[in-house]
């Protein structure tokens, strides 16, 4: 009885863990760039995208409490091939996704060393991405990075920067009001509805705003540790409201002061520099802020270097990958060296987007959109699997259910419809070249796992088991 009590999690702790899992300061420029429609986009992303994901994940997590997450849920509802496809997608998301995360480092480093012009230099951006990702790959090969970084990094990389940005932004906005040349220009709340050419242009940012909540479904692993399963939706809603308010406050303040021609989407420190100029504060605040956020970004990179690859390691050990690739081999930290090196090579290739597309904002958006499309396929699999589970096995034992069958259908369909809207918004805005980049990356990554399943040999599973047994001996 006491051990159960020790492992339980209060609703306040659950909210904190979920915020640490999903919240990130690097999304604020995307929110700000949308202008007045940010309020509509954030509301849709919060209540019609993130909330259904959390509710579906909550029921799945309660029914299938074993480790595995989306891969396990999809495998148990749609079959092994879709389970492998989910595992593959969760791994390959890091190819464009980690380029997006690592691209936050160049402006941070540039400000930290007082060479801000480097932050918009494509070659410098490429070099920093390559050095940081390969550096984290080698560190994870040699050291137990999860143990070294610990929980304190959440405060350094997320909470403290968010507090600094919010306080400085409020002070700057009180002093200047909405700048006439800013993204918002003036007080026009009617512009919240994206109409006309400017409204259509703001659709560029709907997909990146939805991406703020990507990964939040993983908080469902804590549902079995809550004092009451009924606390889960309350905790999720509180977390989503916190993220909604914090991102809107900071996005609004940045868009009220920075002009649309000067905003840099991968420069998290840009609003801090502007706020400090308005308030007449010392420049060293910019340096300290940059260093704090850079530490947070590096730790996030480190977690992604080792985390998603574990899904492919499990699939390789189940015989979905040829043993010759050695994806099945583990090191002393439980990671696959072969997987880590392959992903580092592919991330390096994706990084070259910054050379192919001179506009650094456009390159950033294309990579964000590709990441979102790939992750949204995982959510579509989850939604279809959820509906199928409710139809075929409505009486499965669960501590948490989202409602009756009608409610379950509505939640699943709402999520699928919003994902379709996100994808359409992603593809209709931008040039043909941008469409080809995003569609090409997404299509190749989504189709490949089904090709692998088609050519999979039954002998692979037997070979892998023999190799694992041989290695143990």
Helix (H, G, I), strand (E, B) or coil at 289: helix
The answer to whether 85 and 453 are in contact (CB under 8 A) is yes
| Per-residue tens of pLDDT for the chain, all 473 residues | 333 443 577 888 778 777 766 777 778 888 999 889 999 999 999 999 999 999 998 888 888 877 667 888 999 999 989 999 998 998 888 888 888 888 888 888 988 888 888 877 888 888 999 999 999 899 888 877 666 665 566 677 778 888 899 999 999 999 998 888 888 887 776 677 776 666 667 787 888 898 888 878 877 767 777 777 778 888 888 889 988 998 999 999 999 999 888 888 778 888 999 999 999 999 899 999 999 888 888 877 877 787 778 778 888 888 888 899 888 888 887 888 999 999 999 989 888 877 777 777 777 778 778 888 888 999 999 999 999 999 998 888 877 888 888 999 999 999 999 999 888 887 777 678 878 888 888 899 999 999 988 888 889 988 988 888 887 75
Phi, psi (5° rounding) for residue 226?
Answer: -70, 150
Q: DSSP string spanning 348-405? A: HHHHTHHHH-S-HHHHHHHHHHHHHHHHHHHHHHHHHHHHHHHHH-TT---S---SSH
Rounded Cα distance between 367 and 351, Å, is 9
Rounded Cα distance between 241 and 408, Å, is 22
- Which CA distances in Å does 247 have to 40, 165, 239, 254, 423? 13, 11, 12, 11, 22
**Quick one: pLDDT at residue 473?**
55
Cβ neighbours around 65 below 10 Å, total: 16
Helix (H, G, I), strand (E, B) or coil at 275: helix
Helix (H, G, I), strand (E, B) or coil at 260: coil
The answer to whether 335 and 144 are in contact (CB under 8 A) is no
Cβ neighbours around 129 below 10 Å, total: 27
Rounded Cα distance between 145 and 19, Å, is 21
Place of tokens 């409201």: 241
Helices 360-392, 122-142: axis angle to 10 degrees equals 50
Phi, psi (5° rounding) for residue 9?
Answer: -125, 130
Sketch out the chain's domains with CATH numbers: 2-472 (1.20.1740.10)
Nearest to 342 by CA among 354, 324, 360: 324
Q: Which long-range contacts (CB under 8 A, 24 or more apart) does 132-139 make?
A: 132/102, 132/105, 132/298, 132/301, 133/98, 133/102, 133/301, 133/305, 133/344, 133/347, 133/348, 133/351, 134/344, 134/348, 136/298, 136/301, 136/302, 136/305, 137/305, 137/340, 137/341, 137/343, 137/344, 139/302
The answer to whether 279 and 172 are in contact (CB under 8 A) is yes
The answer to whether 251 and 41 are in contact (CB under 8 A) is no
């Amino acid at each position: 009885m006491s051990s159960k009590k020790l492992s339980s999690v209060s609703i306040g702790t659950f909210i904190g863990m979920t915020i640490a899992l999903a919240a990130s300061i690097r999304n604020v420029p995307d929110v700000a760039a949308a202008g007045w429609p940010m309020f509509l986009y954030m509301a849709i992303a919060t209540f019609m995208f993130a909330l259904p994901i959390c509710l579906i994940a909550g029921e799945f997590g309660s029914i299938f409490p074993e480790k595995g997450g989306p891969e396990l849920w999809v495998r148990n509802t749609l079959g092994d091939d879709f389970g492998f496809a989910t595992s593959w997608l969760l791994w390959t998301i890091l190819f464009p996704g980690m380029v997006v995360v690592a691209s936050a480092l160049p402006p941070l480093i540039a400000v930290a060393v007082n060479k801000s012009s480097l932050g918009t230099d494509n070659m410098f951006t490429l070099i920093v991405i390559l050095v940081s990702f390969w550096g984290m790959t080698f560190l994870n090969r040699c050291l137990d990075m999860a143990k070294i970084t610990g929980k304190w990094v959440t405060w350094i990389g997320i909470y403290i920067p968010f507090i600094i940005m919010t306080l400085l932004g409020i002070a700057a906005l009180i002093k200047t009001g909405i700048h006439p040349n800013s993204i918002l220009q003036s007080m026009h709340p009617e512009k919240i509805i994206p109409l006309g050419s400017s409204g259509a242009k703001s659709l560029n940012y709907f997909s990146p705003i939805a991406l703020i909540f990507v990964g939040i479904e993983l908080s469902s692993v804590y549902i079995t540790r809550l004092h009451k399963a009924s606390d889960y939706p309350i905790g999720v809603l509180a977390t989503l409201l916190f993220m909604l308010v914090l991102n809107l406050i900071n996005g609004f303040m940045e868009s009220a002061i920075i002009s649309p021609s000067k905003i840099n989407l991968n420069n998290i420190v840009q609003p801090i520099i502007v706020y400090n100029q308005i308030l007449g504060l010392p420049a060293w605040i910019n340096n300290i802020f940059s260093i704090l956020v850079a530490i947070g970004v590096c730790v996030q990179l480190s977690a992604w270097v080792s985390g998603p690859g574990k899904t492919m390691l499990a699939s390789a050990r189940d015989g979905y990958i040829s043993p010759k690739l050695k994806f099945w081999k583990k090191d002393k930290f439980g990671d696959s060296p072969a997987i880590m090196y392959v992903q580092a090579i592919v991330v390096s290739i994706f990084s070259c987007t910054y050379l192919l597309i001179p506009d650094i904002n456009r390159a950033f958006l294309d990579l964000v959109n590709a990441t979102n499309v790939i992750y949204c396929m995982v959510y579509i699999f989850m939604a279809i699997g959820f509906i199928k589970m409710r139809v075929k096995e409505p009486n499965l034992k669960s501590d948490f259910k989202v409602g009756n069958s009608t409610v379950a259908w509505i939640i699943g369909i709402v999520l699928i419809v919003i994902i379709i809207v996100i994808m359409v918004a992603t593809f209709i805005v931008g040039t043909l070249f941008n469409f080809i980049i995003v569609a090409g990356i997404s299509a190749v990554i989504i189709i490949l796992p089904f090709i692998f399943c088609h050519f999979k040999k039954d002998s692979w599973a037997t070979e892998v088991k023999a190799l694992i047994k041989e290695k143990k001996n």
